[in-house]
């Protein structure tokens, strides 16, 4: 119990009564008695009630993801009222095995938040500076000394996303790299072979190349593989027993979901994309996890268990990524502003065969992770995003017909916004 809590326990009987009414005493335990005028002051307004998750709405979003091409989907919500999980469909089309909330899957770009946490811990340890040029630590790697570490983490470096060309033809592109093992340098070279998208620091432009360089920084500064940094700095402290980074192994060990990639041509059969090296992504997207572990990770991050308050504040300082000012990006972290006013922090993830959402409120008290086992089908991704509104905002109130003409459309339109793209989408 914090020291301030101990002091509050020592206040007078009058102050204790005030505490029971939801009013914290302003003075510490050793202060003079509260003046009579203060005793009769009106109570402070109660904090707004946190809505209960609308699990029917969560299931509707999961079913919508299935209706848009996913063989199955699942979601897990944790909050003050406990944990609630829902699954629909199958995790294996061949065996018909039902989706299992305990099964592991590839989390795609949610890995970027793992990589960011590691790098920010190294900043806290004084091993690099956020606003220093990347070339200070990786001499000669990039053609522009103005590109800083912060530019990588905020997707403002201007480095082209090599996956746009790599997966322009979805299935042939994937099959060409399914079993290939890239070096970090090869991936950086693919990016540098294309024109830069913006001058450093000028504009947000999502690029997997940024987090390939982040992986290079981690390995240069620690002298160890990035897998070791994940394990020692995140997985072990948080006891994430089902989270791992197995690159370049192609397997997902134990109980796991099979992923299915949509081909470019409508009507062509789905491609089982479960086994792959994910070497084309590495520190940008090769982590494997479960809904429970992702809930633990995002909640612990927001509660300050992985970073200092100052560093977490830097990580959650965001700028808009859309014109509607509902989506933002900080340091390896997305923020979504939901219709009910709740702000959630986390990341989306796309890797062949899997879409993932992993988000938490800023206080870490509520978290949601959701997964659909398909990709290259943006409508399924968008539908899965509907789990956020249902989980964090609860049931939507009905709008009277007479008020619809004057109400703000954004206030009453709870359909999810189009999903942000982590990889090229054909459908």
Give catalytic residue positions.
Answer: 109
Q: Which residues are bridge partners to 72 per DSSP?
A: 89
Helices then strands (H, E): number in the chain?
18, 14
User: Which of 341, 321, 352 lies closest to 392, judged by CA?
Assistant: 341
Q: Residue 357: which residues within 8 A CB-CB, separation 6 or more? A: 346, 348, 349, 368, 369, 370, 371, 384, 385, 387, 388
Q: In what order do the strands lie in the sheet with 260-261?
A: 271-272, 260-261, 374-375
What are the strands of the beta sheet with 105-106, ordered from one edge? 105-106, 287-289, 244-245
Helices 111-124 and 208-222 pack at an angle, to 10 degrees, of 40
Per the CB < 8 A criterion, the answer to whether 369 and 356 are in contact is: yes
């Amino acid at each position: 119990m914090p020291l301030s809590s101990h002091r509050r326990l020592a206040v007078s009987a009058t102050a204790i009564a005030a505490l029971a009414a939801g009013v914290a005493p302003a003075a510490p335990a050793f202060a003079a008695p509260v003046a009579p005028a203060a005793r009769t002051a009106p109570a402070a307004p109660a904090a707004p009630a946190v809505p209960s998750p609308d699990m029917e709405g969560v299931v509707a979003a999961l079913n919508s993801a299935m209706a848009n091409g996913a063989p199955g989907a699942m979601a897990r919500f944790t909050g003050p009222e406990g944990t609630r999980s829902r699954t629909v469909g199958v995790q294996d089309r061949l065996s018909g095995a039902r989706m299992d909330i305990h099964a592991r899957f590839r989390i795609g770009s949610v890995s970027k938040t793992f990589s960011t946490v590691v790098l920010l811990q190294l900043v806290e340890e004084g091993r690099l500076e956020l606003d220093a040029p990347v070339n200070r630590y990786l001499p000669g790697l990039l053609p522009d000394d103005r590109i800083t570490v912060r530019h990588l983490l905020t997707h403002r470096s201007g480095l082209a996303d090599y996956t746009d060309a790599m997966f322009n033809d979805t299935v042939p592109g994937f099959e060409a790299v399914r079993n290939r093992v890239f070096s970090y340098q090869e991936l950086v070279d693919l990016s540098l072979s294309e024109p830069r998208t913006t001058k450093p620091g000028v504009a947000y432009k999502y690029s997997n190349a940024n987090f390939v360089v982040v992986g290079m920084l981690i390995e240069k500064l620690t002298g160890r593989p990035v897998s070791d940094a994940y394990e020692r700095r995140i997985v072990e402290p948080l006891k994430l027993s089902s989270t791992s980074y197995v690159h370049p192994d192609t397997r997902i060990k134990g109980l796991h979901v099979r992923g299915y990639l949509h081909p470019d041509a409508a009507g062509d059969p789905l491609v089982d994309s479960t086994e792959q090296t994910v070497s084309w992504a590495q520190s940008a997207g090769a982590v494997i996890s479960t809904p429970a572990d992702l809930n633990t990770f995002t909640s612990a991050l927001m509660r300050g268990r992985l970073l200092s308050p100052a560093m977490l504040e830097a990580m959650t300082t965001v700028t808009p990524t859309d014109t509607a000012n509902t989506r933002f990006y900080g340091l390896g972290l997305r923020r979504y502003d939901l219709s009910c006013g709740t702000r959630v922090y986390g990341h989306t993830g796309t890797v062949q065969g899997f879409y993932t959402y992993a988000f938490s409120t800023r206080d870490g008290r509520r978290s949601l992770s959701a997964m659909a086992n398909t990709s290259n089908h943006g409508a399924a991704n968008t539908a899965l995003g509907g789990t956020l509104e249902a989980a964090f905002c609860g049931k939507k109130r009905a709008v009277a017909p007479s008020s619809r003409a004057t109400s703000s459309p954004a206030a009453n339109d709870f359909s999810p916004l189009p999903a942000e793209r982590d990889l090229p989408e054909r459908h």
